[in-house]
Amino acid sequence: MGIKCPKCHFDNPDDTVYCGKCATPLPSSKEIPVTETLETPTEELTTGSTFAGRYQIIEELGKGGMGKVYKALDTDLKEKVAIKLIKPEVAVDKKTIERFRNELKFARKIRHKNVCQMYDLNREEGTHYITMEYVHGEDLKRLIRKMGQMSAGQVISIAMQVCEGMAEAHRLGVVHRDLKPQNIMVDEEGNARIMDFGIARSVKGKGITGAGVMIGTPEYMSPEQVEGKESDQRSDIYSLGVILYEMVTGRVPFEGDTPFTIGVKQKSEVPRNPKELNSQIPDDLSRVILRCMEKDKEQRYQSAGEVRSELKNIEKGIPTAEKVIPKKKPITSKEITVTFGLKKLFIPGLIVAALLIAAVIIIWRVIPQKEAAPAISSSKYSIAVLPFEDLSPTKDHEYLCDGIAETLINSLNNIKDLWVPARASSFSFKGKDLGIHEIGQQLGVENLLEASVQVIGNKLRITPKIINVNDGSQVWSEQYDRQMEDVFAIQDEIAREIVKALKIKLLGEKEAPLVKNYTENLQAYHLYLQGRYFWNRRKAEDIKKAIDYFNQAIEKDPNHALAYVGLADCYLLLPQYGRSPTKEVLPKAKAAVSKALEIDGKLAEAHTSLAFIMTQEFDNAGAENEFKRAIELNPNYATAHHWYNILLVYQGRLDKAMTEIRRAIELDPLSLVINSCLGDIFYLQGEYDQAIHQYRKTLELDPTFAEVIIWLGKCYGQKEMFEEAIAEFKKARILFGDSPYGLGDLGNAYARSGDESNAIAILTDLEEMSNQGYALYYDMGFIYWGFGDKKKAFEYLEKAYKEKEHAISYLKVDPAWESLRLDPRFKSLLKRMNLE
């Protein structure tokens, strides 16, 4: 008959006590009355929830073999703590829990500035959890990944502190047994703290070759741990040697496809001299590292104090400047510096000032990332140009309404002291019934320009008006009754009236036109506007329509530079939205944008498009020069900052990317794609909860924005919340319709969750689509990687590289590929993409 799990509904054999899939305790007719409520272990905590009646969850900090770790506020003691939820499969053995309890009695005795304080082991509704001191900072693993090879001074500075913490723990008889970079936190001042003392020892196991729960992490385990033998403080010293090796070389000494193969190497292979991988380190440091990693523990240093003494001697010959740990850059580019003498330290005014500054810093570091308000510009004047309303009897001139409004936005953006939100933000209110005041607040402007357009035959009527958002008063209005060919002159007149109404003083030639016309051909102008109208809809079929309109515009006026840019931009979007082969469309895009620059070399839009083409060609240096040129020509062109951010993301320059995307948000605060990119950076930094928050904020603007739903699913995938990830991917797939976008992500999630049949079905679909001309090799490689098939994954990544597929550019930074990064084939790919 079987027993159905009350949590995951998995069918278990009759005599099962715990679910074979999720480890939830199962009801038994022999032991538990039907009416009794079972305790189901909590495996996931959500931000803002309260756990165990006193811990308010702030965010997830990470996860490991033992379980997930959360940052929380202890509402009883009013201080932050870290909570580690113990996985049900670990906590299922009562003897294991008892060992936890006994070990923590010793671990709690460790009181040292370089060791995180352990608190207690408790149980809440079937879930065992450990509370410990919350340590602010960045784990050493992430720091190594960010810096690559660390300098000898930086390595020694951190290692000496780790030795001090280890020495104190070993003095009290506590051995870590799972020392690794992920268990060492480093704050912005370079102070190191060891985490999780007293946990690994509690788990019963026999090394990686025996049964039970494995003690330690294969890459950092001593040979005696691998063999399941008794380990002491010298095992920690071996692990420290591996960590030092990784710090100076950027890689661990032994790698392998499975824990077993890594373990064999730990027992039998001699590590390569780290000096061969980093010639900058002193010979003495290399010698210390290799002695820590001796296979025979009798040949290693016998105490952490010995290691520290050796490091102290080496440190004497290292310049002070080399010992500095790079501080994490603040989100804002501005720095707040306070200088005062010690004698004035207690002056009340300075104390108040210091507290205020501290409060500002705390608020700025926590809130902006989660609740970023619309940009408030420092410009003296501000106006938003809303999409014009089509009052034509035939209602077929929406493209003209959008085009005139966008032309005014682009032109007004060039006026000094005038803040004008970009198109995506202003147009986000299209079709929405919102009040003037609310729109003004969301866009951060004091004035709105509304207008209606009426076309009857060749007659054109445009009725614009400026409204003050604070009191709803009408600042200016006009009615233009002209012939269609006068549209160019009307646009310039409206721009001048806006400047006049807002009392803005123009610099330069007063009679020079504010609105630049890129064609005098009326038909070419209309065709161009129709092309942009369809391009902005971002659907494969609409992009193809846009190509047709841009080509027609060029036929009418071969010198229409913006039409060539529009054509190039269409080709750039086709790989993403239509999955056309990138290597086929890039040459077409480049030819079009080159023609635009030949006509007008100062066109910021053309330089931006050329830069993005170069990005796809892996010409990163050329792309960066073009982006900088575009921004120099038009600092307020949001797309230039947005696309420059993408290049920086590909290169792993996430701090600089953050600067550019925040500038893009300032210029276009309600753009879906730009707000989504902010979430992407959080995702790539491993800050999944912040990324999820940003993606959900973006979806509040438009719940049908499928691209951001895909990235939301990626976050859940990285958190191993496969059920949630698959749900998001499926939702996006419905919105994408026939497009294959997101299939690779869905297939990867199926593969990683153990749903082999669905993953293989998607692979089959992708193969068929690929035979029809779609460029989908990256997606197929990603699914094979979900299965753990490295050979196939690399085979398809190579194909994706040759096809210049858009998605492969994220290879260096996407955490989904983290465990492949040390593979020589991976490094070879990055090198050929100019990302190494």
Confidence of residue 329 (pLDDT cuts 50, 70, 90): very low
Which of 58-67, 211-220, 460-469 is the least confident region? Answer: 211-220
Pick 701 or 293 by higher pLDDT: 293
Is residue 338 classed exposed, middle or buried when 0-12, 13-18 and 19+ CB atoms within 10 A define those classes? exposed
User: What is the biggest distance separating any 2 CA atoms in the chain, rounded to whole angstroms?
Assistant: 96
Confidence of residue 163 (pLDDT cuts 50, 70, 90): very high
136-323 is classed CATH 1.10.510.10: yes
> Tell me, what's the pLDDT at 69?
87
Pick 71 or 583 by higher pLDDT: 71
> Tell me, what's the pLDDT at 511?
58
Q: How far apart are the first and last CA of the chain?
A: 58
Sheet strands side by side (includes 184-186): 138-139, 184-186, 192-194
Confidence of residue 645 (pLDDT cuts 50, 70, 90): very high
**Mean pLDDT of the 159-177 span:** 89
Which of 179-183, 357-361, 496-500 is the least confident region? Answer: 357-361
Q: How many C-beta neighbours within 10 Å does residue 136 have?
A: 10
- Written as six digits, the tokens of 10 are 């998995």
| Residue 395 in this model has a pLDDT that exceeds 90 | no
**Mean pLDDT of the 576-598 span:** 86
Q: How many C-beta neighbours within 10 Å does residue 492 have?
A: 18
Residue 120: its H or E element: strand 118-124
Output DSSP code: residue 325. Answer: P
| Residue 606 in this model has a pLDDT that exceeds 80 | yes
23 vs 32: CA distance, rounded Å: 17
744 vs 770: CA distance, rounded Å: 13
Q: Does the annotation count 765 as an active-site position?
A: no
| Residue 158 in this model has a pLDDT that exceeds 60 | yes
Which of 245-254, 329-338, 629-638 is the least confident region? Answer: 329-338
Confidence of residue 338 (pLDDT cuts 50, 70, 90): very low
> Tell me, what's the pLDDT at 24?
56
Output DSSP code: residue 18. Answer: B
Pick 335 or 1 by higher pLDDT: 1
- Written as six digits, the tokens of 134 are 């919350």
Helices (H) and strands (E) in the chain, counts: 32, 19
> Tell me, what's the pLDDT at 294?
94
267 vs 254: CA distance, rounded Å: 10
> Tell me, what's the pLDDT at 40?
52
**Mean pLDDT of the 316-334 span:** 52
Which of 5-9, 180-184, 351-355, 581-585 is the least confident region? Answer: 351-355
Residue 452: its H or E element: strand 447-456
Topology of domain 609-832, per CATH? 1.25.40
* Three-class secondary structure assignment of 89-110: HHHCCHHHHHHHHHHHHHHCCC
Same fold, 136-323 and 368-517: no
Decide: 816 and 714 in contact? Cβ < 8 Å: yes
At residue 360's C-alpha, the angle toward residues 359 and 366, to 5°, is: 90
**Mean pLDDT of the 489-512 span:** 76
Rounded to 5 degrees, φ, ψ at 249 are -110, -20
Pick 335 or 655 by higher pLDDT: 655
Q: What is the mean pLDDT of the chain?
A: 82
Confidence of residue 610 (pLDDT cuts 50, 70, 90): very high
Catalytic-role residue among 139, 178, 542, 814? 178
> Tell me, what's the pLDDT at 362?
39
pTM of the entire structure?
Answer: 0.54
Buried b (16+ CB within 10 A) or exposed e, 703-741: eebbbbbbbbbbbbbbbebbebbbbbbebbbebbeebbb
- Written as six digits, the tokens of 260 are 């077993």
Which of 32-46, 296-310, 513-527, 764-778 is the least confident region? Answer: 32-46
- The backbone region for 222, taken as left when phi is positive above 0, alpha when psi lies in -120 to 50, beta otherwise, is beta
> Tell me, what's the pLDDT at 325?
56
Q: Which residues pair with 4 in a beta bridge?
A: 11
217 vs 214: CA distance, rounded Å: 8
Residue pLDDT, tens place only, 691-735: 999 999 999 888 888 889 999 999 999 999 999 999 999 999 888
Name every residue whose Cβ is closer than 8 Å to that of residue 345 and which is 6 or more positions away in sequence.
Answer: none
Write the single-letter amino acid at 116.
C
| Residue 507 in this model has a pLDDT that exceeds 70 | no
Q: Are strands 55-63 and 50-51 parallel, antiparallel or unpaired?
A: antiparallel
152 vs 244: CA distance, rounded Å: 10
243 vs 156: CA distance, rounded Å: 12
Place of tokens 């199962």: 26
Domain spans of the chain, in order of start? 1-40, 136-323, 368-517, 609-832
| Residue 814 in this model has a pLDDT that exceeds 80 | yes
Alpha carbon 374 to chain centroid distance? 21
At residue 370's C-alpha, the angle toward residues 367 and 375, to 5°, is: 80
**Mean pLDDT of the 410-424 span:** 84
| Residue 324 in this model has a pLDDT that exceeds 80 | no
In order, the DSSP letters of 556-594 are: H-TT-HHHHHHHHHHHHHIIIII---HHHHHHHHHHHHH
Residue pLDDT, tens place only, 240-287: 999 999 999 989 999 887 777 888 898 889 999 999 888 889 999 999
| CATH class belonging to 368-517 | alpha beta
Residue 456: its H or E element: strand 447-456
**Mean pLDDT of the 430-452 span:** 85
- Written as six digits, the tokens of 184 are 């060492």
Write the single-letter amino acid at 454.
Q
| Residue 199 in this model has a pLDDT that exceeds 70 | no
Decide: 240 and 306 in contact? Cβ < 8 Å: no
Q: Which residues pair with 70 in a beta bridge?
A: 60, 83
User: Helix 638-651 and helix 620-633: axis angle, to 10°?
Assistant: 160
| Residue 360 in this model has a pLDDT that exceeds 60 | no
| Residue 210 in this model has a pLDDT that exceeds 70 | no
Rounded to 5 degrees, φ, ψ at 763 are -60, -40
| Residue 407 in this model has a pLDDT that exceeds 60 | yes
